[in-house]
Structure 1
Amino acid sequence: MDSSEQSRIDTTVPHPARRYSYWLGGKDHFAADRESGDAIAAAFPAVVALARANRVFLRRVVHFLAEAGVRQFLDLGTGLPAPDNTHEVAQRVAPESRVVYVDNDPIVMVHARALLQGDPRGATAYLEADVRDPDSILEHPSLLETLDLTRPVGVLLITTLHFVHDDEQVAAIVKRLVDAVPSGSYLVITHGTMDFSTQQGITAYEQMFAAGRTDVRARPRATLERYFAGLEIVEPGIVPVGDWRPDTDQRPVSEDLQIYAVVARKP
């Protein structure tokens, strides 16, 4: 890590990518990330199991898309490297698969070199950018060099949009991304929700959110449905992440926290 990269990494403020790495058992996190992760896990003990279920879902859905013929992927909010990164899963099915990773954490950029070692028959690229500015992503030279936006793309927003707190901003982000890709592309979203929670869990979440102790903006199913207007939602629909075409019967059950998973095709 050079001095310019190091100077842009604020280790005193928790970051979702590093906290997620902590929950997944990774090593790329700091005290602030661990403190934040432990505080959320103390209030919602299912969060670690859900984070891991979310990672397993990524593997399943990328495999599904690759089997469906998708050869290009835009992974927004990719986070730190972990087993079964998007390009690894896709290139096991189709070595020519091309992937662009996007994240706004400088430390992820430091580790991007590991992500860039894909199958030479395909391609991978990494952009340090923020999903809140989709134009800067879609118009980036590296994206345009890696992906052909006239051919289908799998757009992956895996536990990314719940860090954008304004509902209308999320709707605008999704619309811009979907408008940029052609028919036959897929939109994949996983997103935190309190739809399955007890009143006690909802109260605890609202207190944590108001106090700034969680940066996740949980949303109900009805709000998520708006983001898929005009798309064909793939079976089994909008479901808890562990219930989307599971390959095991051991799925996390939570009465205080859940993650929705949705996959949709652009007609």
Structure 2
Amino acid sequence: MARPDWAPHEIDLERPSIARVYDYWLDGAHNFAADRQLADQAVGIMPSLKAAIMGNRAFLRRAVKYLTSVGVRQFLDLGSGIPTVGNVHEVAHQEAPESRVVYVDIDPVAVAHSRSLLSDDPRVSVLQSDIRDPETILSSPEVRDLLDLEQPVAVLMVALLHFMPDSEDPLGIIAGYRDRLAPGSYLALSHLGVEPGEEPEGWLRYRDLYAASVTPLTSRGKVAVTALFDGFELVEPGVARMPLWRPESLDELDDDCAVFPGFAGVGRKP
């Protein structure tokens, strides 16, 4: 396979990446054959997956719009992926042009492409780092030069924590960010998951595919996702199925929303 000029030399083009699979599902252009093969295979196994991906993207848009409406002007997007159309800075800048955004991802392609796209925007910065190390991220020049941690910051963990098992202590990792944030800061997260007995067609085979090809998925239901907001006060409507979190129109909703395979919420640090 010919290596495109935007792809770092150290990455393996034959190994799929979470960020690039997601980019493909969102009709992005920065993915490879291995990513597309896995993405198509996953949708073939679980037909409702594409709707879940788009539902997650729609939640991101609604969450950022809500956060700007309550005065947030600083965003730390963890596990940001590749900034395809409708990413955080685009939504935030439409609502509040002075908003500042730091994108963080461990994937070198996501970071390289983000930097090439955003290098001319002083309101946006990109950091390659592991989100499991809050101290390194919050102390990095990228964050310190752009975000004022003495003022409210919105930390975004969108479609991220289902790739983190309980053994990696997601609550402790979130606390590492929460404890450094100023009062009035927010946590917004979405999480793929189902309640027992509500598994959509192909759910178990989809999980097996990801475990074998990329990384295991950890499914969490509403109670477990709510527990991730420890130390935050949930805003209405609390943790809900993704399409049911502050829908822009009731016309968006259908009967499938009640069993949508994912949850989302936004919480405020008091």
In 2, distance between residues paired with 1:91 and 1:200?
38
Is residue 184–residue 265 contact of structure 1 (8 Å, CA) maintained in 2?
Answer: yes
Q: How does 1:6-45 map to 2 (within 5 A)?
A: 6-45=8-47
Secondary structure in 1 matching 2:82: coil
Distance 1:49 1:14, change over 3 A: same
CA positional deviation for 1:117 = 4.1
Distance 1:251 1:78, change over 3 A: farther
Show the counterpart of 2:265: 262
User: TM-score, normalising length from structure 1?
Assistant: 0.89
Which segment is superposed worse, 148-157 or 100-109? 100-109
Aligned identity (percent) is: 40
Which segment is superposed worse, 196-205 or 31-40? 196-205
Gapped regions of structure 2 (runs ≥ 5): none
Is residue 162–residue 217 contact of structure 2 (8 Å, CA) maintained in 1?
Answer: yes
CA displacement, residues 107-142 of structure 1 (integer Å, 9 cap, x when unaligned): 112212213444x6xx11100111122222111111
CA positional deviation for 1:78 = 1.0
In 2, distance between residues paired with 1:2 and 1:200?
36
CA displacement, residues 216-254 of structure 1 (integer Å, 9 cap, x when unaligned): 221122222222122111111111111111113234737
CA positional deviation for 1:164 = 1.6
Distance 1:205 1:156, change over 3 A: same
CA positional deviation for 1:3 = 8.5
Q: How does 1:67-106 map to 2 (within 5 A)?
A: 67-106=69-108
Show the counterpart of 2:118: 115
Is residue 103–residue 127 contact of structure 2 (8 Å, CA) maintained in 1?
Answer: yes
In 2, distance between residues paired with 1:75 and 1:210?
25
Show the counterpart of 1:239: 240
User: TM-score, normalising length from structure 2?
Assistant: 0.88
CA positional deviation for 1:5 = 6.1
In 2, distance between residues paired with 1:254 and 1:216?
21
Secondary structure in 1 matching 2:169: helix
Query: Structure 1: which amino acid aligns with 2:22?
Result: Y
Distance 1:64 1:116, change over 3 A: farther
Aligned residues: 264
